């Protein structure tokens, strides 16, 4: 039996992942009552193979909310090395470009989620665990959500309803449409052991068979490799030696020999973006508002900026669902969201062909970015801090 929670709060939040949890912490700090609804059980094991690449700005936003304890296991990123297979030219982004302690960190999703759950408890945020929202509605004075809980169906109300889940509820809202592009690709995930230590260097490599990232992860790396659906199935189900040889051929000897590859997992890739992120007293953040290709590791960082942006837009508003405040939020987030989604989608299209002339032009572009410091710093700044209007 769960502890009984109130039926009304200033803010209802659907989705207890990093984006929803950060929004809850920031809004509770404003003195608002917050009720968060999460589908998983409080102590259920989080079965998610992802290692999250967070920008240093995202890490600091979580730390400022008390959600980044010193004991949280994380691996720093000091340098990002970008290159393409079969062509000269590369770009190297360093922490010194932005005068930051680090460019980012890599943390396992289960570890971050567990840390956030503890912080929500300490902050006094009410959480309705093991509960699923079946419908949402916006009325003139409040929003409501029908919820299936272990104790039965309940109706919750709030001055504002924040959707921070996977986005399934968004299209039930008036005038909200989802724009979608299926890449017909999957991301293959696996832990990689290399001959040389990572030393804070992350790699983004545009290989002939598909772009991949190698993220520093403990003593080794986490591989995120975009492949066709057929290739992904073969890599996940095939033998380790075959994948190791294929990755070595695509990556080269930058980290010496690839010594081992751990268990593999995959997930499908699609671009989804809403035509609007606010509908009445309902606002959408994180994956509820947009999901994108994992290239350049921008998705979660964009979602965390959504959470922070929402809290800033509501500062000083007596009504958490104040239409003017939500309008400010939507306007403030539009540029960052559209630029980042367009950037990641454009990268996939740009590196989709492998004609020698096209390879050369891309190599020249990466070299120009590398040797022109103001351009390189601006590019790195957008990756770390987002795009400001």
DSSP code string of 249-273: HHH-SBTB-EEEE---EEEEEEEEE
DSSP 2: P
CA 280 to chain centre: 26
Lowest mean pLDDT among 31-40, 168-177, 356-365: 356-365
Q: Is residue 261 part of a domain?
A: no
Is 79 inside any structural domain?
no
The tens digit of pLDDT for each residue in 340-381 reads: 988 888 888 767 766 666 667 777 777 887 888 888 888 888
Does residue 185 belong to any structural domain of this protein?
no
Number of domains in the chain: 1
Joined together, the tokens standing for residue 335 give 């540029």
Q: Which domain CATH number covers 322?
A: 3.50.50.60
Q: What is the mean pLDDT of residues 250-279?
A: 94
Q: Are 190 and 232 in contact (CB under 8 A)?
A: no
Instruction: Give domain status of residue 303, yes or no.
Output: yes
Residue 230 lies in a domain: no
Residues of the chain above pLDDT 70, percent: 96
Can you give the pLDDT at residue 48?
Answer: 79
Q: What size, in residues, is the chain?
A: 389
* Domain-embedded: residue 69: no
Helix axes 109-123, 18-29, angle to 10 degrees: 20
Q: What is the mean pLDDT of residues 104-119?
A: 93
Q: Is residue 188 a part of any domain in this protein? A: no
Residue 214 lies in a domain: no
Task: Please name every residue paired with 75 in a beta bridge, in sequence order, or none if there are none.
Answer: 106
**Which runs of consecutive H residues, i.e. helices, occur in 126-259?**
229-237, 240-251
Please count the other Cβ atoms lying within 10 Å of the Cβ belonging to residue 172: 13
Full residue range of the structural domain in which residue 342 is found: 8-47+110-179+272-350
């Amino acid at each position: 039996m769960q502890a009984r929670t109130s039926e009304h709060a200033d803010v209802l939040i659907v989705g207890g992942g990093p984006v929803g949890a950060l929004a809850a912490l920031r809004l509770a700090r404003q003195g608002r009552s917050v009720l968060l609804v999460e589908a998983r059980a409080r102590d259920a094991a989080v079965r998610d193979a992802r290692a999250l690449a967070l920008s240093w700005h995202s890490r600091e936003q979580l730390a400022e909310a008390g959600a980044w304890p010193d004991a949280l296991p994380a691996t720093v990123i000091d340098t990002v090395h970008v290159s393409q297979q079969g062509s000269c030219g590369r770009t190297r982004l360093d922490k010194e470009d932005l005068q930051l302690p680090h460019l980012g960190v890599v943390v396992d999703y289960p570890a971050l989620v567990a840390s956030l759950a503890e912080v929500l408890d300490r902050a006094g945020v009410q959480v309705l665990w093991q509960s699923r929202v079946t419908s949402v509605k916006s009325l003139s004075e409040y929003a409501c959500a029908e919820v299936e809980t272990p104790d039965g169906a309940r109706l919750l109300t709030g001055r504002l309803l924040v959707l921070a889940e996977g986005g399934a509820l968004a299209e039930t809202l008036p005038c909200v449409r989802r724009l979608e592009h299926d890449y017909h690709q999957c991301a293959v995930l696996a832990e990689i052991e290399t001959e040389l230590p990572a030393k804070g260097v992350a790699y983004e490599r545009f290989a002939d068979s598909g772009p991949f990232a190698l993220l520093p992860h403990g003593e080794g790396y986490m591989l995120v490799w975009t492949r066709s659906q057929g290739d992904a199935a073969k890599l996940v189900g095939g033998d380790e030696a075959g994948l190791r040889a294929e990755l070595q051929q695509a990556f080269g000897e930058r980290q010496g020999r690839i010594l081992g590859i751990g268990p593999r997992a995959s997930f499908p890739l699609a671009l989804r973006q809403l035509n609007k992120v606010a509908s009445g007293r309902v606002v959408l953040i994180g994956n509820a508002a947009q999901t994108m290709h994992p290239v350049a590791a921008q998705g979660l960082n964009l979602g965390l900026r959504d959470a922070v942006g929402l809290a800033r837009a509501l500062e000083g508003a007596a009504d958490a669902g104040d239409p003017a405040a939500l309008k400010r939020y939507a306007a403030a987030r539009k540029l960052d969201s559209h630029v980042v989604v367009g950037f990641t989608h454009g990268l996939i299209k740009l590196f989709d062909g492998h004609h020698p002339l096209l390879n050369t032009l891309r190599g020249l572009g990466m070299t120009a970015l590398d040797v022109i410091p103001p351009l390189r710093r601006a590019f790195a700044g957008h990756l770390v801090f987002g795009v400001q209007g």
